[in-house]
Structure 1
Amino acid sequence: MRILIADDDLISLLALEKCLVDLGYEVVTARNGLEAWDKLIHDPAIQIIILDWMMPGMDGISLAKRIKAELTDDKQLPRHVIILSGTDGYDEIIRGLSSGADDYLVKPYSFNELRIRVKRAEKMLNEEQERRRLVNVDPVTLLWNRAKIIEFLEEELARGLRNFHPTGTLLISPTLPHPLRPAASPHQLEKSLLETLSSQLRQKIRCYDKAGRFGRREIMIILPQTSSRELKTIGQRLSQNINLDSVYYSYRLPSSKVAIGGVSSEIFPHPSAEVIISACKKALSTALHLRYPESVYIIEKKEVTHHERRTNTR
């Protein structure tokens, strides 16, 4: 975990830095509040912030207020602010904690006291990160849930537009044999298929791809910097490598295909999440109706709608 220390007293700064490095932390230092703020906004990985109360430019109290006002939301890593002060008066402690600081440490302090405070901060931050993660995770697949995967899609499309890179998106769905055996519960079968499918997908997608449960049986994969041709290759490879036979056999059912539909943003002049999702749904619907063993359908050019066709003929 990365820690920022801000103190205008060089001796105190170096002593504190050594203590934290000895505890195994990565430490960033600043000599005043303005320098500390600059480092914070350029280094989002900093989570524990130790600020001396009295500093030139911007003191620790003012900086703590600014951190809480501008750098605290669910899209950023949680942060824990500790104020250092040579004053242990009740009013000063209340003022420090009221400013937005999470803890208050009186100087001079012992190494053990510092260690306990920092370890407690680390534990609280890890618990908060886990809480945030679970809020965004689907409990069946342990992938991102629908809201989060759509948020990732919007972010990746915006990034792709800025950097002139296409974004590929796949919708993947296992299929249910028809008719089902009377003893086979559709709900339990779907759950088993999704658990197995998501487990295999985690091992087969790239580290920077995102996967999440999109619908009842659909999993969405977002693939940055992926053209239509590359998306088709990836879809076919996934189709060949995903194997759900063990699930079907456990329910005494014949094996069935995994359907994959997708589209790359490169075929649209102004791709939005809504446009991409609509195209992926159409592609998946087509893939579900392909004759076995064909199971992948990628839209490789923009389909002209009835409205656009009428407009173009006027």
Structure 2
Amino acid sequence: MTQCRNGMTTRGNTPVRILIAEDDLTSRTLLVSLLEKAGHEVIETRDGMEAWRILQMPDAPRLAILDWMMPEMDGIEVVRRVRATDTELPAFIIMLTCRDTKTDLIHALDSGADDYLIKPFDAGELRARMGVGIRIIQLQDALLQSREDMAYQATHDPLTGLPNRRAILERLERERERCARNGETLAIGMCDVDRFKAINDTYGHQTGDEVLCGISRMLRESVRSYDAVGRLGGEEFLIIAAMPTGARPYQLFDMLRRQLHQTPIVTRVGALPVTISIGVCVTARDSSLTEMLALADEALYEAKSQGRNRTVCKGGAPENLDDTSP
């Protein structure tokens, strides 16, 4: 079973949303009756311009039956416009017409129609062609979902769900370039879980994983909506925070450290007190990504050397460095 982006599920003969564009009232009424009896949700219109408008909507029907000859815009032109639109979820379009020559069939299919139904149509043939359309839609949805899953797995840490090292460093490079253009201050915080090896050795790696997930969740929920958090690897995380020139990045990062210090992480062995050390780098306009990471790593080493559970800042104004107490 596949979940479509418009919220409707398709499987076998499961109901779908269908657009019928047909100016002949008798033919349109018959189509609507047959499809609604089959459980489908039908949207109907009598002219091509309205059909084109509906097919441009974000929640447009994934299957459409278009009459060839319609007021305002004919079915062939509607198909051409739909096929010229860049979309990952194209509609399956059945062209409905009295024209029955091979030349007409080729013209309709060459224009972008997926199938062809000749009037007067047989109800059984309509059901069969609808079944083909639904199967095609299923395959499209499954392919898109598979591609999205692969993209997510390539950019996210499987344990914590945070952006992985590659993804967070790519985000850092984009933010560095953006802040350089806009004259903003960019700060990064390299976070390391204090005495994490002791947690693993004492309580086991599953508990250690729960600690990492708990810290990830706290960081993600505590940073501002436009900041970014990623897992560099092991017990190290990276926070990216852009702010106006003159802001005090140290306070933002130290608030996170204090919050974690005051919030035990719930695990299978109970709530464990956990702390982190944070090395903060405040970038200069011409700082490279490598230089920023090196400064943050140096600041993190100092935080560890000073007794852990500390925030140390490099590259900021002196007033940003005035508090390293737990």
| Range into which the TM-score falls when normalised by the shorter chain | 0.5 to 0.7
Could you say which residue in structure 1 is the equivalent of 2:209? 191
Kindly provide the CA deviation profile for residues 146-190 of structure 1, in whole angstroms up to 9, marking residues without a partner as x. Answer: 111111111111121222222221111111178x48962664454
The 8 Å contact of residues 200 and 208 in structure 2, kept in 1 or not, is answered as no
TM-score (norm 2): 0.58
Distance (whole Å) between structure 2 residues aligned to residue 211 and residue 84 of structure 1: 44
Distance (whole Å) between structure 2 residues aligned to residue 235 and residue 219 of structure 1: 12
Deviation of the 1:257 alpha carbon: 2.5
- In the superposition, relative to structure 1, how do residues 285 and 26 fare at CA in structure 2: closer, same or farther (>3 Å)? farther
- In the superposition, relative to structure 1, how do residues 91 and 271 fare at CA in structure 2: closer, same or farther (>3 Å)? farther
Deviation of the 1:192 alpha carbon: 2.8
Distance (whole Å) between structure 2 residues aligned to residue 182 and residue 214 of structure 1: 19
Could you say which residue in structure 2 is the equivalent of 1:131? 150
Could you say which residue in structure 2 is the equivalent of 1:104? 114
The alignment of Structure 1 onto Structure 2 pairs a total of residues equal to 248
Deviation of the 1:278 alpha carbon: 1.3
Distance (whole Å) between structure 2 residues aligned to residue 16 and residue 59 of structure 1: 8
1:13 aligns with 2:23: no
The 8 Å contact of residues 199 and 208 in structure 2, kept in 1 or not, is answered as no
The 8 Å contact of residues 196 and 235 in structure 2, kept in 1 or not, is answered as no
Distance (whole Å) between structure 2 residues aligned to residue 106 and residue 154 of structure 1: 51
- In the superposition, relative to structure 1, how do residues 252 and 264 fare at CA in structure 2: closer, same or farther (>3 Å)? closer
Could you say which residue in structure 1 is the equivalent of 2:291? 275
Distance (whole Å) between structure 1 residues aligned to residue 303 and residue 288 of structure 2: 22
1:165 aligns with 2:175: no
1:205 aligns with 2:230: no
1:79 aligns with 2:88: yes
- Larger radius of gyration, structure 1 or 2? 2
Could you say which residue in structure 2 is the equivalent of 1:305? none
The 8 Å contact of residues 149 and 211 in structure 1, kept in 2 or not, is answered as yes
Name the SS of the counterpart of 1:214 in structure 2.
strand
Unaligned runs of 5+ in 2: 7-45, 62-74, 318-326
Could you say which residue in structure 1 is the equivalent of 2:37? none
Distance (whole Å) between structure 2 residues aligned to residue 129 and residue 143 of structure 1: 16
1:242 counterpart letter in structure 2: L
Match of 1:235 among 234, 243, 253: 253
Could you say which residue in structure 1 is the equivalent of 2:313? 298
Match of 1:222 among 213, 234, 240: 240
Distance (whole Å) between structure 1 residues aligned to residue 236 and residue 116 of structure 2: 55
The 8 Å contact of residues 259 and 287 in structure 1, kept in 2 or not, is answered as yes
- In the superposition, relative to structure 1, how do residues 142 and 258 fare at CA in structure 2: closer, same or farther (>3 Å)? same
Deviation of the 1:258 alpha carbon: 0.9
Kindly provide the CA deviation profile for residues 89-130 of structure 1, in whole angstroms up to 9, marking residues without a partner as x. Answer: 786788678xxxxx83558999x9599589755665455334
Could you say which residue in structure 1 is the equivalent of 2:161? 142
Could you say which residue in structure 1 is the equivalent of 2:29? none
- In the superposition, relative to structure 1, how do residues 124 and 183 fare at CA in structure 2: closer, same or farther (>3 Å)? closer
Name the SS of the counterpart of 1:184 in structure 2.
helix
Deviation of the 1:140 alpha carbon: 1.3
Deviation of the 1:245 alpha carbon: 3.3
1:151 aligns with 2:185: no
Deviation of the 1:207 alpha carbon: 1.6
Name the SS of the counterpart of 2:239 in structure 1.
strand
Distance (whole Å) between structure 1 residues aligned to residue 90 and residue 252 of structure 2: 45
- Percent identity of equivalent pairs: 18
TM-score (norm 1): 0.60
